[in-house]
Amino acid sequence: MSASDIKVVVIDVLGTLVDEPSGIRASIHDHAPTAAEADLDRLQTLWQSHIEREQQRILDGDRPWVPSDALDHEAAQLVADAVGNTDPAAIATLSRAGQRLSPWPDSTAGLARLAERFPLIGLSNASRTALLGLNAHAGLRWHQALSAEDAKTYKPAPAVYQLAVTAAAAPPERLLMVAAHAWDLRGAQTVGLRTAYIARPVGDPPAPSDRFDLYAEDLADLANQLSAHTR
């Protein structure tokens, strides 16, 4: 693959650019400061399992569409119920945990390097409101940010990736989808996007059968590889 073939770089946000698990865990700890580590593990799993299960139910057609804000509030309510916290204000604060996630150390500089050569599109399952808050908190800078909310479904549904293709006004093979989740990249491949896997401590590593266009240690490595492909 030549970098000259790429017109737009599309980047996943949760897990790829920000440390979602640690951020959710920190917010849960703020909500339940006396919880032991094992309890925090259980509560974090409760939160994440709910999000994954409900998104899958929506994808399967077993539940009507709701934005990520609603799912986050449900997850926060489950955690609050588990620790016996009935304060509505505290639950509301916890429900916005996904807007207080920290970027990985290379994210800000890596985005800046990529933006020197390519238009950048952030493509996230986070709602428009959540994505706005998250981008501001983490200092992420895009040329455009797209939410799965605009497709009324969640990745890896093809309609979400099609949002980026439509925004770019280019053939899908001219877009490079970057993510730390192999399932996300497989979804992008279904609509013809090129793919780049970024290794993160969290995420979904590639399976032996996966064939992505690029594999990078971080965004700096990805930028270096794209530069090398133009020489």
Residue at which a domain ends, from 99, 128, 147: 99
What is the reported pLDDT for 230? 60
Q: Please indicate, yes or no, whether residues 48 and 68 belong to a single structural domain of this protein.
A: yes
What is the reported pLDDT for 227? 86
What is the reported pLDDT for 231? 52
Q: Please indicate, yes or no, whether residues 9 and 48 belong to a single structural domain of this protein.
A: no
Q: Please indicate, yes or no, whether residues 84 and 111 belong to a single structural domain of this protein.
A: no
Residues with Cβ within 8 Å of 129's Cβ and at least 6 positions away in sequence, in order, are: 67, 69
Q: Please indicate, yes or no, whether residues 151 and 92 belong to a single structural domain of this protein.
A: no
What is the reported pLDDT for 203? 83
Q: How far apart are CA 58 and CA 52, in angstroms?
A: 10
Q: Please indicate, yes or no, whether residues 210 and 147 belong to a single structural domain of this protein.
A: yes
Q: How far apart are CA 85 and CA 63, in angstroms?
A: 27
Residue at which a domain ends, from 69, 99, 129: 99
Whole-model pTM: value is 0.95
Q: Please indicate, yes or no, whether residues 86 and 167 belong to a single structural domain of this protein.
A: no
Q: Please indicate, yes or no, whether residues 42 and 146 belong to a single structural domain of this protein.
A: no
Q: Please indicate, yes or no, whether residues 11 and 44 belong to a single structural domain of this protein.
A: no
Q: Could you give the count of Cα atoms lying within 13 Å of 173 in the half-sphere of its Cβ?
A: 3
What is the reported pLDDT for 4? 73
Q: Please indicate, yes or no, whether residues 31 and 92 belong to a single structural domain of this protein.
A: yes
What is the reported pLDDT for 2? 65
What is the reported pLDDT for 1? 61
> Which residues constitute the domain of residue 74?
20-99
Q: Please indicate, yes or no, whether residues 224 and 146 belong to a single structural domain of this protein.
A: yes
What is the reported pLDDT for 140? 92
Q: Please indicate, yes or no, whether residues 13 and 56 belong to a single structural domain of this protein.
A: no
- In the predicted model, residues of the chain with pLDDT beneath 50 are none
Output the domain CATH number for residue 153. Answer: 3.40.50.1000
Residue at which a domain ends, from 99, 116, 133: 99
